[in-house]
Amino acid sequence: MRPNPFHSPAIPGSVLLFSFVLLIGCGDALPDGSPASNPEPVTSPQEGEAPLDLGPVLAEIFGAHDARGTLLVRRLADGREWVHDPDRSEKALVPASTFKIANAAIALETRVVSSPDEVFPWDGMEREFAGWNQDHTLGTAMTASAVPVYQEVARRIGSDRMSEWLGRLEYGNGSIGGGIDQFWLTGELATSARDQVDFLERWHEGVLPLSPSTLEAVTAMLRQDGDTTCQLYAKTGWAFEAKLGWWVGWTACPDDSFVFALNLDIRDPSVDPGNRIRIGRAGLEALGALY
């Protein structure tokens, strides 16, 4: 097994009790400014105790936001899972910008991008999201979810190498139908919440056919700043035509790590993109997977 380049060292201290905090989304989400609707607070389990039965709690979180979707969380120490809407968690859907994780890794492995710091000059075309209208590296384009940069990356990789690498990574259904710069946005690539969790567990365990330097570089791009004890790594996705939102990633806590994948319907573009992270964080906090 390869060394794990992103394992967080243990942090002394006991796990604190907490209540849900529903937070406004970030990344490629559109801020809506509307107040969050908070369900009744749920106290996290004490350290060493079995987590709560979260089925009703997760349903309450989704219901508080009138959201249709799924959340699957897996504790890596023992493989225990918690899921809202199990049927939907198995449904293969277009991954949208969550595919940037694999896309960046393939680019570095194939050396079509010389380093994580290579600059992609802005082409001067004004686009809807202001954060796209500037020069980017792989990392800043990951944070801004700058689609044009990663479309250029995919074109550099090319169809043959992309197909080969999707197979090697066992990513979703492995299809690049729909065009080399569209297959993960509007094309045939499809993956389920369970597939995403499986992929990220293999990533976390260092068993994918990727070099330690690639794992370390892309993991750094996914690191989310915050004041939590657990370190959060995550990526959003938004398939505009499919009206689908994603939030996937993992948390590294002092005593354990958890991988997760959430997807939901984007019915109201002014609210639902932010709900990806609001709902996801609330579920992770209830489980004790983020504190």
> Catalytic positions, please?
97
Stretch (H or E) spanning 282:
helix 272-287
Assess contact for 151 and 181: CB atoms under 8 A: yes
Edge-first strand listing for the sheet containing 69-75? 81-84, 69-75, 257-265, 244-252, 231-239, 223-224
Q: Which residue has the tokens 């190498």?
A: 161
DSSP 72-102: EEEETTT--EEEESHHHHT--B--GGGGHHH
Q: Report strand pairing: 69-75 vs 231-239.
A: unpaired
Helices 272-287 + 55-64 axis angle, to 10 = 160
Residue 73: count other Cβ atoms within 10 Å of its Cβ. Answer: 28
CA pair distance 287, 251, nearest whole angstrom: 12
Q: What is the dihedral of CA 199, 202, 204, 210, to 10 degrees?
A: -100
**Residue 101 token pair:** 């994780």
- The sign of the torsion formed by the CA atoms of 15, 278, 143, 256 equals positive
Q: Report strand pairing: 231-239 vs 223-224.
A: antiparallel
